[in-house]
Amino acid sequence: MLHCDALQYKPISIMTTPLDLNLLAANIKQWGLSLGFQQVGICDTDLSVEETKLQEWLDKQYHGEMAWMKRHGMMRARPNELLPGTLRVISVRMNYLPAKASFASTLNDAELGYISRYALGRDYHKLLRQRLKKLGEQIQNYCHDFEYQGVLNFRPFVDSAPIMERPLAAKAGLGWVGKHSLILNREAGSWFFLGELLINLPLPIDLPQKEQCGRCVACMTTCPTGAIIAPYTIDARRCISYLTIELEGIIPEEFRPLMGNRVYGCDDCQIICPWNRFSQLTDEDDFSPRAILHTPKLLDLFNWSEEKFLRITEGSAIRRIGYLRWLRNITVALGNAPYQYDIVLALQQKLGLNTMLDEHIHWAIEQQIIRRKTNTINVQTPQQKRLIRAITKGLPRDA
């Protein structure tokens, strides 16, 4: 007979494995690549040096009418204020340059509208944020399987949030900050989006890359409006991207002739950069150019109704500027185009929609009349001519 005391209960010992942060960091980089990012880096949250520079930049009013930059203050340089307890920032990049960038063919034709190449496809904000969220969830699930004391918190960010993504990307080893203030990578150039995942894990950090611009000032001398006022310093008030996207009111007259046919953003400082000879093309279908936006005729764009503008720009970064600013930008480009009776007629037909728009229409009509009287055909600036030659010679794939 079996005695009861012979039955001894032995509690099951649950084996737990400590969390290996070095292994986790390596896994994070692999997961990031699997999610479609081309590079993943990790850095700490110290932006004290950049915070001082940011305050000086704001004090000089270089942010123009971007009041939100001043409103957020130094939060931009303090990830801990965005997610309390943040210890590390996981920085990622994703290529966006399309297979047929058509830089020269568009910039060289004053009857076409040039749209910054990042905006030709679907708005990147939601896509990057969703991928970053998936990366955070993978990290969370992984940590659940190990002995980890505490609650794992993470928060994804793209550039619509108040965060200094470029200094963070540089700290995380994704590249260095070029003189045009964008991140440059020696294997990929600069045609990529950035995103960040704030996390409260003390992951090992990556080393920053060495700055490799040297004495090159191509971006500074090519900028149509002289917005790069010193190496690494942009006066946004002069930048065509600011003038066509962020500025809500009247574009200063001094900049209008210099804008050429750029109706949304400007890529000149990137196009001319020698490192972009090594740029990588995107493999994301969402970033493929919409045919109607790729090499569009200015008059076709100008004749869109507001309903058509909203329909075509659904899911596009362009939509955020609204119909009136869209017309304003195209009006300036039409003013810079060779004289056509159809241009003057189209401009006249839009008079009376809005006082701000009327200011630009009157200017554009005046430019058209001057061009007709002087029989001026060539309206390109010397800088634009040099840029187009550089594209044709150095970037035949993207010309």
241 is known to lie in a ligand binding site: yes
4 is known to lie in a ligand binding site: no
User: Residue for token digits 């006066």?
Assistant: 235
Beta strands in 4-55 (DSSP E): 39-43
Identity of the residue numbered 354: N
267 is known to lie in a ligand binding site: yes
34 is known to lie in a ligand binding site: no
Please tell me the distance from the alpha carbon of residue 46 to that of residue 52, in angstroms, as a whole number: 12
Closest C-alpha to 330, from 349, 302, 293: 302
198 is known to lie in a ligand binding site: no
160 is known to lie in a ligand binding site: no
DSSP for 310-364 reads HHHTTTSGGGGGHHHHHHHHHHHHHHHSPP-HHHHHHHHHTTTS-HHHHHHHHHH
Question: Is 109 among the residues known to form the active site?
Answer: no
269 is known to lie in a ligand binding site: yes
Residues 169 and 41 sit within 8 Å (Cβ to Cβ): yes
Please tell me the distance from the alpha carbon of residue 252 to that of residue 247, in angstroms, as a whole number: 10
43 is known to lie in a ligand binding site: no
How many residues belong to the chain? 399
Residues with Cβ within 8 Å of residue 105, at least 6 apart in sequence: 295, 399
* CA 394, 278, 177, 317 torsion-angle sign: positive
Please tell me the distance from the alpha carbon of residue 30 to that of residue 35, in angstroms, as a whole number: 9
| β-pairing verdict for 114-115 and 183-184 | unpaired
Residues 222 and 215 sit within 8 Å (Cβ to Cβ): no
- Which residue is catalytic, options 109, 159, 286, 358? 159
Task: Specify binding-site residues for [4Fe-4S] cluster.
Answer: 213, 216, 219, 223, 239, 266, 269, 273
Binding-site annotation: residue ranges for cob(II)alamin: 76, 159, 183, 194, 241, 266-267
- Residues at the binding site are 76, 159, 183, 194, 213, 216, 219, 223, 239, 241, 266-267, 269, 273
Q: Which residues are catalytic?
A: 159
